[in-house]
Amino acid sequence: MNETKTAFKRMKDLPSTHLLGTGTPMCAGCGGLQAIHEIYDILGEKTVFVNAAGCMTLLSVYPFTPFRGSWLYTSMGSAPAGAQGVRDALDILIQKKRIDSRENLNVVVLTGDGAANGIGMSATSGAIERDLDFIYICYDNEGYGNTGQQYSSATPHAARTATSKGPRGFPGYKKDLFSIWASHKPTYVATVVGAEPVDLARKVEKSKKMKGPRMLIALSPCPTGWDFNPMEAVEIGKLAVRTGVWPLKEYADGKVVHTKIPGRRPPVEEYLKLQGRYAHLFRPDRNETLLREIQARVDAYWDGVE
C-alpha cells in the first residue's frame, strides 16, 4: 500500500466523533458493530446500505436507525441484486438530471458471513461479473449468529456451534471468501478487523476512491456466538492477527499484498483458548491432534506468503 497517500498513519488520525448512532440492539461487545462504526466514519454520510438478513438487520427496526441515510433490507440471497437496483436508480436519476451528481451515494452491501459465503454467493458472483460499482462489507462472525450461531461455510475447523456440538466441533473448513472474490478479478478485496482500526481505515479510504466491485471482509469477534467475555473482543481480534489466523491483506490490480505480516507468531492456541467455542480442545484433555492440525494449517498459509 502506498503509505504516503493515506490520511491514516496512526490512531490519532482516526475520527474522534462517530457517524453511527448509539442505541442499536447489537450485543454488548459486538465485533461486527465495532468494524461497521469504524468503516462508516471513513465512508461518510453519503452511503446507502443494502442489508441482507442477519444480525445487522436489527440495526434498523422502524422507527429507529443508527444510520444517517437510507437503508434497504433484502433477503439473505439478494443484497447484491438490491445494490444493483439502487445503483442503477441513482445513475438514471443523475443522468436525467433529476438529482444533482453531488447527491450521488456510495452503494454499500452489508451482510454477515452466512449471506456472503453461502446463501448470497450467486448474486454476488453475478454482481462482480456485471462490474457493479459497489462496496460489499461482510461482517464475518463465522456462523449464523442471529439465530443462535449455527455453523456457516465461514465457520473455522473444530469450532463448536449450535449445529456442531461434538467433541471435534465443526468438521468442515472455513471457506476462503477472499480468494473466491479475488478470482473474479474485481477492483478491490481486503480483510480487516475492528481491533486494527488504522489498517481498516486505510483500506476503506482506498476502496472508497475506486470504482467497481469492492469487498471488505471484517472478522467480527462475537461474544455471544464464540462464547467469550465481551471485554476481550478487541484482544481476540488482535490475537487473530498476531497468531496468523486472520491475515490482513488486500487484492488490487491482480496482486495480493499482506498489509500486516506478523513477525514472531504466538501459538494459535493463545487465540483459541480465550473462546468457549474451542473449550473442548483444552478440557477435559488437550486435543493435541486438532491443535496441531490448526497450527499446521496456519503455518502452511504463512509459509506460502513471502
Partner 1 sequence: MKTASRILGTALFLEGFEVQDAPRYGAERRGAPIFAYVRASREPINERGIIRQPHLIIVADETLVPVPAAGVLSGITKITTLLVHSFESPETWQERLNTPARILVLPAADTVEEREDIPFVGTACAGAAARLVGEISREFLIEAIHHELAHLSPDIVQKNTEKAMEAYDLMASHEGYIKEDGDFSGGAYEKPDWVDLPFEEARRSAPAIHAAATSVEVKTGLWRTMRPVIDFEHCNRCWWVCSTFCPDSAIELGEDGFPEIDYDHCKGCMICVAQCPAHAIEAVAEHKPKAHAAEGVES
Interaction site with partner 1 (CB under 8 A): 10-12, 14, 16-31, 33-34, 37-38, 45, 55, 58-59, 62-69, 145-149, 194-195, 197, 223-224, 230-235
Rounded to a whole number of angstroms, the minimum distance from the CB of residue 140 to partner 1 is 15
Query: Phi and psi for 89 in degrees, rounded to 5?
Result: -60, -45
Rounded to a whole number of angstroms, the minimum distance from the CB of residue 116 to partner 1 is 19
Q: Which is nearer to partner 1, 68 or 211 (CB)?
A: 68
Distance separating alpha carbons of residues 176 and 174, to the nearest angstrom: 6
Rounded to a whole number of angstroms, the minimum distance from the CB of residue 155 to partner 1 is 16
Rounded to a whole number of angstroms, the minimum distance from the CB of residue 90 to partner 1 is 18
Triad 297, 139, 175: Cα angle to 5°? 35
**Which residue do the cell numbers 502452511 mark?**
300
Rounded to a whole number of angstroms, the minimum distance from the CB of residue 9 to partner 1 is 11
Q: Which is nearer to partner 1, 64 or 173 (CB)?
A: 64
Q: Which is nearer to partner 1, 233 or 294 (CB)?
A: 233
Rounded to a whole number of angstroms, the minimum distance from the CB of residue 288 to partner 1 is 23
Distance separating alpha carbons of residues 305 and 221, to the nearest angstrom: 25
Rounded to a whole number of angstroms, the minimum distance from the CB of residue 137 to partner 1 is 15
Q: Which is nearer to partner 1, 34 or 153 (CB)?
A: 34
Q: Which is nearer to partner 1, 172 or 230 (CB)?
A: 230
CB atoms within 10 A of CB 262: 16
In sequence order, what are the beta bridge partners of 197? none
Q: Which is nearer to partner 1, 55 or 159 (CB)?
A: 55
Please name which of 58, 63, 53, 73 lies closest in space to residue 26, comparing C-alpha atoms.
58
Element at 288 (helix H, strand E)? helix 288-303
Distance separating alpha carbons of residues 236 and 239, to the nearest angstrom: 5
Rounded to a whole number of angstroms, the minimum distance from the CB of residue 18 to partner 1 is 4
Residues belonging to the chain: 306
Distance separating alpha carbons of residues 190 and 49, to the nearest angstrom: 19
Say if CB 113 and CB 137 are below 8 A apart: no
Q: Which is nearer to partner 1, 97 or 283 (CB)?
A: 283
Q: Which is nearer to partner 1, 57 or 295 (CB)?
A: 57
Say if CB 59 and CB 66 are below 8 A apart: yes
Sheet holding 213-219: strands in order across? Answer: 71-74, 47-52, 106-112, 134-140, 213-219, 188-193, 248-252, 255-260
Please name which of 232, 273, 247, 294 lies closest in space to residue 31, comparing C-alpha atoms.
232
